[in-house]
Amino acid sequence: MSTTVASAPDPAPPANNNTENHKKNRIQVSNTKKPLFFYVNLAKRYIQQHDEVELSALGMAITTVVTIAEILKNNGLATEKKVLTSTVGMKDENKGRLIEIVLGKSDKFDKLMAPANTTESEAADDEKK
Question: Do residues 64 and 43 lie in contact, with contact meaning Cβ atoms separated by under 8 Å?
Answer: no
Q: Is residue 13 part of a domain?
A: no
Domain range for 36: 23-113
pLDDT at residue 11 tops 90: no
Q: Is residue 90 part of a domain?
A: yes
pTM: 0.70
Domain count, the chain: 1
Tell me the pLDDT band of 129, cut-offs 50, 70 and 90: low
Q: Is residue 38 part of a domain?
A: yes
Per-residue pLDDT at 117:
62
Q: Is residue 14 part of a domain?
A: no
Q: Is residue 36 part of a domain?
A: yes
Q: Is residue 65 part of a domain?
A: yes
Question: Do residues 47 and 77 lie in contact, with contact meaning Cβ atoms separated by under 8 Å?
Answer: yes
Residue 57 maps to which CATH number?
3.30.110.20
Phi first, then psi, for residue 10 (nearest 5°) are: -60, 140
Q: What is the mean pLDDT of residues 37-66?
A: 95
Per-residue pLDDT at 116:
64
| Full 3-state SS string of 52-69 | EEEEEEEHHHHHHHHHHH
